[in-house]
Structure 1
Amino acid sequence: MKQRIEELLLSTGREGMASLLAEMDEMGFYTAPCSTQYHLANKGGLAEHSLNVYQIMDKLHALLYPEISHDSVIICALLHDLGKAGQYGKPGYIPNMLKGRGKNAEPCQSTAKPYTSNPELLYVDHEVRSTQIAGRHIELTEEENWAILMHNGMYGTFRYQIQGKETPLYLMLHMADMWASRVVETEEKADGEA
């Protein structure tokens, strides 16, 4: 997954991409979970989700609106949840350890909610973190910045700001993100449990 993500991002030719990739590696992007308990709440889940979103968004791009730059599709799909990996040298999610029961029982990681938000990292919406981190290294276009910031649509903090200001890039990212998390990754989980 790491190699594919790096190849795609480098293919954009965006100045500063090498330093962004180095930070992604350093911050644990490729090993971070995607959520605390829902879709891909496992090691490497964030990278897997990002690739899933890219694959869906790439299809939507070709089918619905090929006028948008493919570089924007790559950047938005692969970096939209970048902030979930954390910031300031602190991971966004940490293992949710349950206290052991019994006299000599060791703590163990919860199976119902394997991860929890890191209490040592001040809360900032991951969409904001994503644009901050990426923007320190590469120049995001106005459309890319907007799409990443608003990608959670009516499910996110910015639900009132997006109404009436939807753009094609945002709509494709939002749809790809929803399809990946609600359909593809749900089916993968069900297949793994069968």
Structure 2
Amino acid sequence: MSPEFLLTSLVIVASPGTGVLVTLSAGLTRGAKAAIVAAFGCTLGIVPHMLAAITGLAALLHTSAVAFETVKYAGVAYLLYMAWMTLKEHGTLKVDTDNTPRSSMEVIWSAILVNLLNPKLSIFFFAFLPQFVGSNEAHPLPGMIQLSLVFMAMTFVVFSIYGVFAAAVRDHIISRPKVLTWMRRTFAAAFVGLGLKLALTER
């Protein structure tokens, strides 16, 4: 496995995006365990894109304007929904201080949807993985699967680090209502910004 693949993957994974926001918010509002669960959900959200790229289905998104736009705007709508729910204090930055916190499955499904509704991920895998598989390999599929699993492992580890760090400063944040209010606004603005960025993306 080439160092170039590892370095490129690390840069991509560590770059701020929707998955990072979801994991950070889980750590800030529900603690380290929820952050790790969210990181796991974001990692699972990569699987459909990985399979699409490996099987060639990503080519459909690349060539079909209708398919691409449908998935893209579903993703935009979901990001705007998350922004609205965050502002309404019922979404990603809802602080659970009672005994009935958001279930792990809810966190996982929310995290999966964030990555699932981003068609650029499928196209990214479609273009990214083949660059690190030898052109002379008779059976490239095992190599692509191995690289994908490494990418997923890096995603889980990096996102978990983000989330656990956020959980470490959780008490300092939730004890200050004004700070939490501004964080909600910041996260909501970030979700809107990511939604607009996705809306403006081309195939």
TM (normalized to structure 2)? Answer: 0.30
* Structure number with higher relative contact order (C-alpha < 8 Å, ≥ 6 residues apart): 2
Q: Which has the higher helix share?
A: 2
TM (normalized to structure 1)? Answer: 0.31
